[in-house]
């Protein structure tokens, strides 16, 4: 199926209030333009340099989401244009985003990445760290970042009960923070293999790559 047929099929099944991020990492500008021509405006990338090259080359009404791990020294390159940073996984990174956003006179929307998978991964906060961060006066004082919500990735497994458990755990955590952080409105969870389950568990933003653009090399 073509990119536009894939988009048609996925978006026709989305409940209201769920945003589709078309994950275009490693894919050429032509593929992005096909999705753009169809009507898609939100795209996700996981490398700052690749995203910046695409931002320079492609229509300016595209909203670019950074979905990957971000090194602090790369924040400055995307600060002028990035629409949402999904993978904020440390206070240090949040501080750097705040600093670079200030320089370009912006408030950058961010999601805190939560470590929900049972498998070992280096990135993301656990529940206790998240609560500490949400109550940290230093965080509440940052004027150039807006913490819009949480992002998580489930374990890569065939065990659907486990995936569902991880998603519902993230949703509970999200709900518990909505009274603490003022701008919470986005729960980013679900990829090509598990987005239907993620939506059933309360996702408001799904990040889909291969089911739109085909497998990556
Ligand atoms: C690559 C990636 C996706 C999309 O994965 P697909 O399985 O191709 O849909 C979603 N989220 C993150 C964080 C990614 O790195």
Ligand 1 atom index nearest CA of 208: 9
Query: In the chain, which residues have pLDDT < 70?
Result: 120-122
Label the pairing between strands 108-114 and 145-152.
parallel
Q: Determine contact, residues 97/108, Cβ cutoff 8 Å.
A: yes
Q: Give CA–CA dist 31/23, Å, rounded.
A: 11
- Cβ(191) – ligand 1 distance below 6 Å: yes
Distance of CA 133 to the CA centre of its chain: 19
pLDDT per residue as tens digits for the range 191-205:
999 999 999 999 999
> Can you say whether the dihedral through the CA atoms of 162, 165, 169, 170 is positive or negative?
positive
Q: Which residue do the tokens 């992005």 mark?
A: 32
Tell me what pLDDT residue 116 has: 86
Tell me what pLDDT residue 101 has: 98
Ligand 1 atom index nearest CA of 193: 7
User: How far apart are the CA of 128 and the centre of ligand 1, in A?
Assistant: 26
β-partners of residue 145 are 108
Tell me what pLDDT residue 120 has: 66
Using CA atoms, how far residue 201 sits from 86, 159, 204, 206, in Å, is 19, 16, 10, 12
Tell me what pLDDT residue 217 has: 81
Ligand 1 atom index nearest CA of 207: 10
pTM of the model: 0.96
User: How far apart are the CA of 91 and the centre of ligand 1, in A?
Assistant: 24
Among 23, 112, 213, name the best residue to mutate to test ligand 1's pocket (greatest count of ligand atoms within 8 A of Cβ): 23
Tell me what pLDDT residue 176 has: 95
Tell me what pLDDT residue 92 has: 96
Let me know if 5 is exposed, middle or buried by CB neighbors in 10 A (0-12, 13-18, 19+). Answer: exposed
- Cβ(46) – ligand 1 distance below 6 Å: yes
pLDDT per residue as tens digits for the range 47-88:
999 999 999 999 999 999 999 999 999 999 999 999 999 999
Nearest to 65 by CA among 204, 205, 192: 205
């Amino acid at each position: 199926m073509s990119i536009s047929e894939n988009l048609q099929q996925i978006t026709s099944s989305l409940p209201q209030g769920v945003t589709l991020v078309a994950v275009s990492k490693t894919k050429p500008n032509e593929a992005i333009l096909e999705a753009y021509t169809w009507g898609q405006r939100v795209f996700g990338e996981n490398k700052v340099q690749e995203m910046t090259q695409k931002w320079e080359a492609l229509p300016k009404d595209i909203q670019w989401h950074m979905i990957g791990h971000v090194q602090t020294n790369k924040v400055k390159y995307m600060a002028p244009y990035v629409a949402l940073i999904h993978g904020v996984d440390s206070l240090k990174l949040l501080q750097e985003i705040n600093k670079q956003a200030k320089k370009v006179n912006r408030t950058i929307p961010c999601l805190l990445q939560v470590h929900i998978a049972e498998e070992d991964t280096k990135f993301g906060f656990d529940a206790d760290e998240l609560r500490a961060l949400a109550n940290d006066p230093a965080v509440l004082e940052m004027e150039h970042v807006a913490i819009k919500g949480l992002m998580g990735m489930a374990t890569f497994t065939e065990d659907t009960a486990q995936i569902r458990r991880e998603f519902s755990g993230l949703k509970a955590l999200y709900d518990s923070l909505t009274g603490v952080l003022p701008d919470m409105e986005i729960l980013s969870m679900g990829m090509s293999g598990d987005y239907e389950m993620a939506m059933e568990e309360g996702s408001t933003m799904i990040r889909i790559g291969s089911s739109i653009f085909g497998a990556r090399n």
